[in-house]
Structure 1
């Protein structure tokens, strides 16, 4: 078998041959592409931009006749996951019992998500969301995110979210604000009435003072 030419998206980036050192034609693969003893390609230090369809082509000679051979490799690059990549969000319904939904999301591509718990009672899982009814204080739910090379998990106890109080809905804020406005209006009206009554009382007291009757005449004993 002769030399092997390697392509990605039409770019001839390397040439390898059995028993020889690889020839790198594209500097971007200088620290990524290496040749095995049989001319196979070894890739290292890959990033997501390196994934794609790689083509290896070579000419073989059989009985003095040359044959062209090409193979395609679909290369995918996956990221190592950690529990920091997992985000847990919850919403508690406003019922007597604590009915809630807990969602698990991972801001990474090509990631699968599963939920697990010690018991499935009162639990309904849809995609990455788990619906829990009246959760048991002792039951722990675990969200696991995984791809073909790694997996990671994060656990939560839904009952703890119930203790924190039910999440208020947008409409609750509206009602609360209306009540606050009404209360403030009542306080303002009462304050105005008290102030008006106080001013009126002062005016009445002032009008009750003895009027000025002019100089007093003193009679003498001669009159």
Structure 2
């Protein structure tokens, strides 16, 4: 048997071994915060060793054994990994680059049984008040003052809600808030939440009801509407011009 036949046989055996590995259970969802740490747990009995693979990568990056034994095979994980007494893996100093899918090949006794456990890691940033921006969308006058506000948050996976001051109930579960005139003296708080943190910012809508604020803030929406109308007219004119040219070319 030539060397090439040996390599093919080894490749087939390894491929069959991977494909025949049973699943340890459902894929586990793991959530962590930037700079924090997470645990990739192993729940099997009689664990001998666990080989850890990042699906985003190519090679095995670590191996653990019960008792806290850890062998790191990728320098990018130095000083960031810790083994536990049951063979689980603790990943610390998280960054957004760590998120993705991980696979643990778990060797257990008796029977030298191998099963595969999948994990899906998502890393979120910790929110602060600086991540929240509240923008005035519109102010209506004529003797009264109703205010429309928009809350925007820097970050992904964020849920936004509004709460009126001294109220426990949520006033609105979205980024837009309309405040009628009788309520503009109350303070309203925009609350931003993700799976690892929450932050808030408070505003009093009556502050936007001053004449100078109304004049400046109110011009924004009207200017926006005029821009839309102008763009629509431009599209209609171009379409009309093309239609006339098409008709003339057909007559010729």
TM-score between the two structures when normalised by the length of structure 1: 0.68
Tell me what 2:177 maps to.
130
Distance 1:58 1:94, change over 3 A: closer
Higher helix share: 2
Match of 1:12 among 35, 60, 80: 60
Is it true that 1:169 corresponds to 2:194 in the alignment?
Answer: no
Report the count of equivalent residues. Answer: 168
1:11-48 Cα shifts (integer Å, max 9, x gaps): 31101111253111111111221111222101110011
Distance 1:33 1:156, change over 3 A: same
- 3-state SS in 2 of match to 1:2: strand
1:99-150 Cα shifts (integer Å, max 9, x gaps): 2211111110111111001489xxx847201011215353010001111221
Match of 1:3 among 31, 36, 49: 49
Match of 1:38 among 86, 97, 111: 86
Distance 1:101 1:126, change over 3 A: farther
Take 1:150 and 1:143, find their aligned partners in 2: how far apart are those partners? Answer: 14
Tell me what 2:139 maps to.
93
Distance 1:7 1:129, change over 3 A: same
Is it true that 1:102 corresponds to 2:154 in the alignment?
Answer: no
Take 2:127 and 2:206, find their aligned partners in 1: how far apart are those partners? Answer: 27
Tell me what 2:198 maps to.
151
- 3-state SS in 2 of match to 1:77: strand
Contact conserved, 2:67 with 2:86, CA < 8 A, in 1? Answer: yes
Distance 1:137 1:102, change over 3 A: closer
- 3-state SS in 2 of match to 1:144: strand
Is it true that 1:51 corresponds to 2:99 in the alignment?
Answer: yes
Distance 1:126 1:93, change over 3 A: farther
- Per the TM alignment, residue 160 of structure 1 is displaced from its structure 2 partner at its CA by 0.6
- 3-state SS in 2 of match to 1:109: coil
Take 2:105 and 2:173, find their aligned partners in 1: how far apart are those partners? Answer: 46
Distance 1:98 1:11, change over 3 A: farther
Take 2:68 and 2:141, find their aligned partners in 1: how far apart are those partners? Answer: 73
1:186-208 Cα shifts (integer Å, max 9, x gaps): xxxxxxxxxxxxxxxxxxxxxxx
- 3-state SS in 2 of match to 1:56: strand
Higher RCO (C-alpha 8 Å, min separation 6):
2
- 3-state SS in 1 of match to 2:123: coil
Q: Which has the larger radius of gyration?
A: 1
**Structure 1 unmatched ranges of 5 or more:** 173-223
Take 2:136 and 2:180, find their aligned partners in 1: how far apart are those partners? Answer: 13
Tell me what 2:125 maps to.
79
Cα RMSD (Å) of the superposition? 2.3
